Amino acid sequence: MSTVPRVGPRPRWLDPIGVLGVVALGLTVWLGLWITPPDRTQGDLARLLYIHPPIATVALYWVGIVAAGGSLLYLWPRTRSLFWDRLAASAVEVGAVFSALTLVTGSLWGRPAWGTWWTWDARLTSTALLLILEIGYLALRRVPADAAVRAKRCAVAALLIAVDIPLVHFSVDWWNTLHQGGTFIDPGFQIHASASMSWTFLVGLVAFSLIFVWLLGERYRIEVLQDAVGDQLLEVSLAERWSEDAALVGAGAPTAAGGPGHGEGSP
């Protein structure tokens, strides 16, 4: 019996994406810290805006699209496949990391800008709620179950979260708002920043998007491996059980009480 789970080869595009993402991130750091000028009003503090909005974009939009899309496609009978389930689950897990990073980078910016690490501002509060919702999904995901049952349950949970997010957003938005509006782009899509600043922001967005795709791919791969290992462990314990039974039969019929192997070997 082989000890290596039977899964396909590692996809070839995964490593180049990761390398590109890390290079783009390095470029963002270089542009953000050395090339761009300090902001007229916020000074060096504005440099955090090269990474905070891109991280938030990934956490809110990319994750939302992949998680909701994957869950919907899993629930749709014609496209039902564990691929979509694993993709959605991976997106939520990577999304939880990006949501947490959004909160951390926002908090780092808020301390000097607003004078406090945390404020009950609309976007902060709704991002925190998003993180809690994602943790709830991941808790549900960890409950052991048959793959198809778990997939269906999680897909429904993801859709329930997806419909809740706009409601959370609007209610918290009305409840209290202090966060500044769009920084670079106003509702008329006029860009208010120097060319080097806009380019750095764009490179940051590309960097974090690539890193998201890379982490998503890696997490998906781990999901496949986990399922394969789970299946294999089941096979191994079944095989052990059969060989025990065979040995018992070979040694003569076991007695009702205290026979060899009594009370052990159940998976």
Q: Under the rule (CB under 8 A), what is the footprint of other proteins?
A: 75, 129, 132-133, 135-136, 139-140, 143, 145, 149, 152-153, 155-157, 159-161, 163-164, 167-168, 170-172, 174-175
Q: Which is nearer to other proteins, 29 or 168 (CB)?
A: 168
Nearer to other proteins, 160 or 234 (CB): 160
Minimal distance in Å, beta carbon 56 to other proteins?
A: 19
By beta-carbon proximity to other proteins, the closer residue of 135 and 185 is: 135
Q: Which residues contact 8 (CB under 8 A, 6 or more apart)?
A: 224
Min dist CB 152 to other proteins, Å, is 4
* Nearest distance from C-beta of residue 175 to other proteins, angstroms: 5
The CA distances from residue 84 to 57, 66, 154, in Å, are: 22, 9, 11
CB of 15: closest distance to other proteins in angstroms? 36
Long-range contacts of 66-71 (CB under 8 A, 24+ apart): 66/91, 66/216, 67/91, 67/92, 67/95, 67/158, 67/162, 68/158, 68/159, 68/162, 70/155, 70/158, 71/154, 71/155, 71/156, 71/158, 71/159, 71/162
Shortest distance (Å) from residue 253 CB to other proteins: 34
Whether the Cβ atoms of residue 166 and residue 190 lie closer than 8 Å to each other = no
**Residue 91 vs 161, nearer CB to other proteins:** 161
Q: Which two tokens stand for residue 67?
A: 């998680």
Cβ partners under 8 Å of residue 166, min gap 6: none
> Which 8-state DSSP code applies to residue 33?
I
β-bridge partners, 205: none
Q: Please, which residue, 18 or 136, has the CB nearer to other proteins?
A: 136
Minimum Å distance from CB 57 to other proteins? Answer: 22
Closer of 88 and 172 to other proteins (Cβ) = 172
What letter represents residue 97's amino acid?
A: V
Token pair in block for residue 245: 């039974």
